[in-house]
Amino acid sequence: MSKIFDAYKKRSGESVDLTQEIGRVGSVELYPATTGKQETDFNQLANRVLGLRLDNRGSVICFASTASGEGASFVSYNTARALVRTYNQKVCWIDGNFLSPQAKLKGQERASFASLLQDPELVGHFILDANPYLVGAGSNLLSAKGLFADEKYKELLGLLAQQFDFVFLDLPPVLETSDSALMAAEADGLLLVIEQKFLKYEIVQHGVNILQEKGVQVLGSVINRREFVLPKIIYDRL
């Protein structure tokens, strides 16, 4: 299902205790629980992401696709779940996709991404009743997107990084709005989610160029819905 190619390597000698306590899962299920090979793939992806954790604060990582429908939300959400379940990390997942917000998170009483942009200090009032902690876009995120270039946005990410081991920011497709690059530039990096059938070098490279022009650290790519035209055993030998 997914395969990550990142520019980072795990610290030498670092080991992960797989017997750690399983963390609480968010009360809202955005997608059905993964099982079998899919769950294994996400655990492997989470292990790679675990190597990006900083020593002095949490890591803020953005997820985005080049075009809509490639599964960036699905990948980021399930990676967050895997970090919680398998590696006992405290994770905040934020719906920053103002073009297509998560319907299941609408109307939540907790602070939305839109309200946090206007008042970052609301982070201090979080009631951490679930892990991963889900933050919806909010009904007025589209009108608040002008704040992405504001100092409050940078302050917000800093406060979130003090509260959580990982902050995942799910962004709109890179080729559909320049705000994705603007938002990702203030994070620690971005993982580009690509559906295999859309895997065209020119399209992907164009998206990467847009991100890098804005100073985004592109950490790597996740190939979603991978299909094998030849038998898989042949690919494994290549």
| Planar angle of CA 103, 39, 75, nearest 5 degrees | 40
**Contact 211/178 with Cβ under 8 angstroms?**
no
Four-residue CA torsion sign, 149, 150, 151, 152: negative
Q: Tell me the two tokens of residue 160.
A: 């979130």
Exposure on the CB side of residue 70, measured as CA atoms within 13 A: 31
Q: What is the pLDDT of residue 173?
A: 93
Whole-number Å distance between alpha carbons of 101 and 133? 16
**Contact 214/185 with Cβ under 8 angstroms?**
yes
Q: What is the pLDDT of residue 144?
A: 80
Nearest to 156 by CA among 106, 111, 190: 111
Q: Tell me the two tokens of residue 203.
A: 């399209």
Q: What is the pLDDT of residue 197?
A: 65
Q: Is the pTM of this model over 0.85?
A: no
CA 6 to chain centre: 14
In the chain the domains, ranked by start, together with CATH numbers, are 21-237 (3.40.50.300)
Q: What is the pLDDT of residue 16?
A: 34
Question: How distant, in Å, are the alpha carbons of 59, 102, 190 from that of 83?
Answer: 13, 21, 17
Q: What is the pLDDT of residue 198?
A: 57
Mean pLDDT split into 10-residue runs, the chain, 238 residues: 36 34 57 88 94 93 90 94 96 94 82 92 90 91 83 95 97 92 95 77 83 92 60 38
